[in-house]
Amino acid sequence: MQDSIGIPACFSSSIDDRDGAVTRSGQSVYMSVYRTKIAGHCRIITITWCKNLLLHGLSVSVEGPQGDTQFSCKVELKPWYFWRKQGSKRFTVDHGKEIEVFWDLKAAKFNGETEPASDYYVAVVCDQEVVLLLGDLKKDAYRRTGCRPALIDPILVSKKEHVFGKRKFSTRAKFHEKGRCHEISIECKNNRISSSNNGGDIVECLRGVQIQPEMEIRFDGQLVIHVKHLQWKFRGNESIHLNKVRVEVYWDVHDWLFSPGLKHALFIFKPVFLSSSLSSMSSSSPPLSSSSSSTTPLSTQTESSGSLLEGRSGSESSDFCLFLYAWKTE
């Protein structure tokens, strides 16, 4: 599978980004991509969290105004480097514009995840403005930086997560800032089907056993998508409904089934709002199964997948997309 989204080399020993492929299993990567205004230009800021058995890593990169260059700083959070859990770094973008990144992760709670869940902040500062602020310790961040909030709020464009597993993969996602956080799980299983041997011996019976891969996608524990005969439907999409939001789910699991070695499947979750009212999006109503499906292949330019959802009557496509890269290990 080829796609247009690579993986930043958080640690040179663990990730090889020359072809956008993970070279060692067990390296989880979580990327949040924001669009905001810095130094008079609309820019992309990418916050990347990496996790392996030895350390956590934080990387902050800022895209140049033409999108052709990137400027970044990296932080390694090793257990024996306590002082690195709080600090700041500076780097310059085009024409010497200075950007400073502040972080405080001393008490951060990761809860077993790659991205921290609470008790932390990461702040990106330029021209005495906090252009991006993550975490729940916002007062501490403003006090530490001594800067004012930016006049323009950043927009979350996408989240990209790389997870590893043998047959089951899970993540958490919130499709709107006012909505609830949903548990998403994907499971690929082999269904054994035996053909009748009409009283023949056991060898003939074993020869009649067929393995048919299937895939199940669950939201908050409820089955919403069940794909049988996955060997024929390895690419496709379906719609599910979460209260006031329709979520378009796209999948491409070709490399799971037909490519040797460590390969990933790609899942895209794209919200489409069914009405202008978002007041009830925090409801705990369970998701409903989809009413339509297809097996249209994913575009190789996955970033533009939202264009597939535009132009439908009574709906509005969101700017946000969740990209889940599921790496299947033996």
Distance between CA atoms of 325 and 165, rounded to whole angstroms?
11
Identify the domain containing residue 41 by its residue range: 15-158
**The total number of structural domains that make up the chain:** 2
**Does some domain include residue 195?**
yes
What confidence category does residue 208 fall into, taking pLDDT thresholds of 50, 70 and 90?
low
pTM of whole model > 0.85?
Answer: no
3-state SS assignment for residue 3? coil
Percentage of residues in the chain with pLDDT exceeding 70? Answer: 68
What is the rounded average pLDDT of the residues 188-204?
59
What is the rounded average pLDDT of the residues 15-42?
67
Per-residue pLDDT, 266? 96
What is the rounded average pLDDT of the residues 159-176?
89
Nearest alpha-carbon partner for 187 in 160, 227, 136: 227
Tens digits of residue pLDDT in 232-250: 999 999 999 887 788 999 9
Q: Between 41 and 143, whose confidence is greater?
A: 143
Contacts of 308 (CB under 8 A, 6+ apart): 248, 299
Please check the confidence at residue 89 and state whether its pLDDT lies above 50. yes
Tens digits of residue pLDDT in 35-74: 998 877 888 999 999 887 777 788 999 887 666 566 777 8
Q: In this structure, how many other beta carbons lie within 10 angstroms of the beta carbon of residue 185?
A: 15
- Same domain as 100, residue 203: no
- Same domain as 319, residue 183: yes
**Does some domain include residue 7?**
no
Per-residue pLDDT, 259? 84
- Same domain as 202, residue 120: no
What confidence category does residue 283 fall into, taking pLDDT thresholds of 50, 70 and 90?
very low
Distance between CA atoms of 330 and 318, rounded to whole angstroms?
36
Domain-terminating residue out of 100, 125, 158: 158
Domain-terminating residue out of 158, 181, 207: 158
- Same domain as 309, residue 172: yes
Per-residue pLDDT, 268? 96
Per-residue pLDDT, 137? 95
Please check the confidence at residue 27 and state whether its pLDDT lies above 80. no
Per-residue pLDDT, 260? 79
- Same domain as 130, residue 90: yes
The dihedral of CA 47, 302, 257, 231: what is its sign? positive
Q: Are 90 and 98 in contact (CB under 8 A)?
A: yes
Q: Calculate the average pLDDT of the chain.
A: 75
**Does some domain include residue 180?**
yes
- Same domain as 183, residue 113: no
What confidence category does residue 219 fall into, taking pLDDT thresholds of 50, 70 and 90?
very high
Distance between CA atoms of 40 and 29, rounded to whole angstroms?
30
- Same domain as 308, residue 188: yes
Domain-terminating residue out of 158, 183, 216: 158
Environment class of 206 (CB within 10 Å of its CB; exposed 0-12, middle 13-18, buried 19+):
exposed
Tens digits of residue pLDDT in 259-272: 877 789 999 999 98
**Does some domain include residue 54?**
yes
Q: Between 298 and 316, whose confidence is greater?
A: 316
